[in-house]
Amino acid sequence: MRIDILTVLPQLLESPFSASIMQRAQDKGHVEIHVHNIRDYSTNKHKNVDDYQYGGGAGMVMSIEPIAALIEKLKAERNYNEIIYMTPDGELFEQGMCNQLSLGQNLMILCGHYKGVDERIREHYITKEISIGSYVLSGGELAAAVVVDAVVRLIPGVLNDETSALTDSFQDNLLSPPVYTRPPEFKGMKVPDVLLSGDFAKIERWREDQALKRTKERRPDLLD
């Protein structure tokens, strides 16, 4: 998979992809992540990437020209499965959307900033608009990092244990059961006996019960 991220703040997207699973996914050739600075495509002498909004009102709008130039350049080089715009008024991001995006070959992600992007970019180029939740971030970069992480870990071969992405919370609309490791007792707090029993059928039943209980308590909406 190839992912192109278009941003006015490339610094924000350096560390999320340079450690752990995301770094290894790139090292092993499962994904190429290219971060592009929209400012490099500004043609005006001050390298502006935003402007006042028509009709007046507080807040700047991301200009159409540099973003269009960058999108056109990338589209001429390859076909994109989706051209995504990260925006608080987008479709709510959830696991089903991750699964679908993980099947793509090339994804482009535009990070929103200021009051947002000139509407004509959305109308003409964007194929999908994503929000990661009902709150407002200062920009789309951290949200884009969330989407990339959630998608890349689903690419076959990225996770060591092939089955572990399938047993994630949400893949079966259930939250994960509690987990424990050594020691068996810490300051009087004990690991549930069943996990030490060696009876794997019983352990599996316990985990299913716990997953269901946790989902009922915390996310009953998932069971609807």
C-beta of 213: minimal distance to ligand 6GU in Å? 30
Under rule CB under 6 A, residue 215 binds ligand 6GU: no
Footprint of ligand 6GU on 133-152 (CB under 6 A): 133, 135-137, 139-140, 143
Range in contact with ligand 6GU (rule: CB under 6 A) among 22-30, 34-42, 86-94, 154-162: 86-94
φ, ψ at 23 (rounded to 5°): -65, -45
- The correct pick among 7, 42, 63, 87 for binding ligand 6GU (CB under 6 A) is 87
Q: Residue 16 or 140: which CB sits closer to ligand 6GU?
A: 140
- Separation of alpha carbons 79 and 201, rounded Å: 48
The number of CA neighbours under 13 Å toward the Cβ of 82 is: 19
C-beta of 129: minimal distance to ligand 6GU in Å? 8
Under rule CB under 6 A, residue 131 binds ligand 6GU: yes
Q: What contacts 87, CB < 8 A, 6 or more positions away? A: 112, 116, 117, 129, 130, 131, 140
C-beta of 20: minimal distance to ligand 6GU in Å? 23
Element (H, E) at 186: strand 185-186
Under rule CB under 6 A, residue 88 binds ligand 6GU: yes
Range in contact with ligand 6GU (rule: CB under 6 A) among 96-104, 130-138, 149-157, 171-179: 130-138
Q: Residue 136 or 189: which CB sits closer to ligand 6GU?
A: 136
Q: Count of CB atoms within 10 A of residue 192's CB?
A: 12
CA distances from 69 to 3, 85, 106, 114, 121 (A): 18, 16, 18, 20, 11
Classify the C-alpha dihedral 146-50-37-70 as positive or negative: positive
Range in contact with ligand 6GU (rule: CB under 6 A) among 15-23, 34-42, 129-137, 197-205: 129-137
Q: Which two tokens stand for residue 118?
A: 């000139």
User: Residues in the site for ligand 6GU, rule: CB under 6 A?
Assistant: 86-88, 112, 130-133, 135-137, 139-140, 143
